Amino acid sequence: MKEPLAISPAATLPRASGSRVAYPVLGAISVTHMLNDMMQSVLLAIYPILQGKFDLTFVQVGLITLAFQFSASLLQPFVGLITDKRPMPYSLPIGMGFTFCGLILLSIAGSFPVIVLAATLVGMGSSVFHPESSRVARMASAGRHGLAQSIFQVGGNIGASIGPLLAALLIVPHGQRSIAWVSLAALAAIVILVMVGRWYGANLGGVRGRGGSLRKTDTTLSRREVGSAISILLLLIFSKYFYLAGITSYFTFYLMDRFGLPIQQAQVSLFVFLAGVATGTMVGGPIGDRIGRKQVIWGSILGAAPFTLLLPYANLHWTLVLAFCAGLMIASAFPAIVVYAQELMPGKTGTVSGLFFGFAFGMGGIGAALLGKLADATSIEFVYHVCSYLPLLGLTAFFLPDMRRART
């Protein structure tokens, strides 16, 4: 019998043995992750509309992304640190409220500063959502941490891939004010997260919580070894998210500039890349459970290099094929990276999740701004030539310790 998503503590406590994966809970946070990232990706997908309406430069486009990414990245580690000491189950629906407010403001924004403020509010919603929901995924995993992290993260990737389609079908034909309809997804997510918060609170003190998945254990690694491994993982996040920033923020412009595609067709093409990212995220975690996180990290980031290096030279058909493959390979690393880092620092799930999700968003924001400035100074095509070499930093994964040996 499957474990239900609890409505009350009495309904969940008898089942908090942790012996089974709580798929309903994982499904719930994956769906809310999908809704959260769908709403965020709408912001990215409507850049051409905002650029045309407000006459924005590429630098300004990058600054919008920077505002969104930094409001998420700077707050996430602090949220994780605080909730490791004092978990806040109902912070999840509260955080989603920031996203709701940001979308409403974006739908009525009449100037560039207001757009930046709206993007900041959407980012603040993510800063609360990601650390706590990642902790819920680990609690619900019953030891299959990679699988749980993949289920959680793939919801976000699916949402990110739906966003451009939603923008093409709804916002492009009906204009900026139609963004308000997207905010209904935030209301739906709030309802789901209230139920998740009840399950979270009921199981926090049991085997699934501090008595099990969230407890502190000895990795046998020295503090210096842990610090070195974390540094390598952050370098890999840098390479991954700088590249992803170049694709997600400017791929539509690249396709429009090089192949003459209209806005709607370019946004649909962005969906192809994001679908590859979603596929890679789903497979990376379970494979890491089987063969080891280090092997997945090593293979996925470095394995993306052949596709990224070929992409700037390809025609339209092969550009889409290579973009899908690059997205699939490079995205499969992130679930393994997060779980690997959680194993390096057991008992600090929120801090680790906040640090890595926050750093990822921060690198995406910095990457978007710098690559936008580079595009203004040179060309979009030159940006893609530069980005194509970033996955080669995956070579540093060779120096990561094998956590399976560290635990024996």
What are 236-267's pLDDT values in tens digits? 888 888 888 777 778 888 888 888 888 878 87
Give the list of residues 6+ apart from residue 71 with CB closer than 8 angstroms, or none: 119, 120, 121, 122, 123, 124, 127
Q: How far apart are CA 231 and CA 396, in angstroms?
A: 10
Q: How far apart are CA 6 and CA 279, in angstroms?
A: 29
Sign of CA dihedral 357, 358, 362, 363: negative
Q: How far apart are CA 77 and CA 72, in angstroms?
A: 9
Q: Which tokens hold the place of 381?
A: 């095509």
Q: What is the pLDDT of residue 13?
A: 30
Residue 34 and residue 159 in contact, taking contact as beta carbons nearer than 8 Å: yes
Q: What is the pLDDT of residue 205?
A: 65
Can you tell me which residue has the tokens 């430069």? 57
Q: How far apart are CA 274 and CA 257, in angstroms?
A: 20
Region for 158 from its dihedrals, namely left if φ exceeds 0, alpha if ψ lies in -120 to 50, beta otherwise: alpha
| C-alpha pair distances (Å), 23 with each of 28, 31, 137, 312 | 8, 12, 10, 41
The pLDDT profile of the chain, 408 residues, written as one tens digit per residue, is 444 444 333 333 333 344 688 889 999 999 999 999 888 878 777 777 788 788 888 788 878 877 887 787 777 888 888 877 787 778 889 889 999 999 999 888 888 899 999 989 988 888 888 888 888 888 888 778 888 888 888 888 788 778 777 877 888 787 788 888 888 999 999 999 999 988 888 877 655 555 445 555 555 778 888 888 888 898 888 888 888 877 777 888 888 888 888 887 887 788 788 788 888 888 888 888 788 778 888 788 778 889 999 998 999 999 999 999 998 888 888 888 888 888 888 777 777 877 887 787 777 777 877 888 888 888 888 888 888 888 888 788 888 887 655 454
Q: What is the pLDDT of residue 321?
A: 93
Q: What is the pLDDT of residue 404?
A: 57
Q: What is the pLDDT of residue 219?
A: 58
